[in-house]
Amino acid sequence: MIDYTEPMSWKPPCWHQDYGDVPDELDHLRKVAQCVIEQLPQLSVGLSMPEEGIMFLVISNEGATVLAEIYSIENNGGSPQRKYGVFLRPNSIAEEEQYTLSTQRVIDLLNSIAT
């Protein structure tokens, strides 16, 4: 199920502590979701939690084509800062995978395929 409601209304799930800091992960996804809504209003942003321990954003265009999936990933090396895993054109032969700490870089990547 994908939740296309206002990102500030999303509530963190009650997952086992082995899944890490779930509220922090959701806040990180919420931050980029808000930026997409503000800067790329032609796109739809939904939160998907297909099973316990997996949470990501689904970015779609007006034709409901999924353009990207965005994950919040713990950064290696013990850094408290999370990074985004951006999968452009998921489940297609043109799928591309990128990682970034920058919310603006996510917006730039989405903008490059949104037209």
Residue pLDDT, tens place only, 33-74: 999 999 999 999 999 999 999 999 999 998 788 999 999 998
Where is pLDDT greater, at 29 or 65? 29
Sign of the four-CA dihedral 26, 69, 82, 109:
negative
Tell me: pLDDT of 85 over 70.
yes
Q: Please, what is the average pLDDT of the chain?
A: 92
Q: How many CA atoms lie within 13 A of 80 on its CB side?
A: 1
CB 43 within 8 A of CB 57: no
Q: How far are the Cα atoms of 11, 65, 74, 101 from residue 51, in angstroms, in the given order?
A: 15, 22, 19, 25
Q: What does the pLDDT read at residue 45?
A: 96
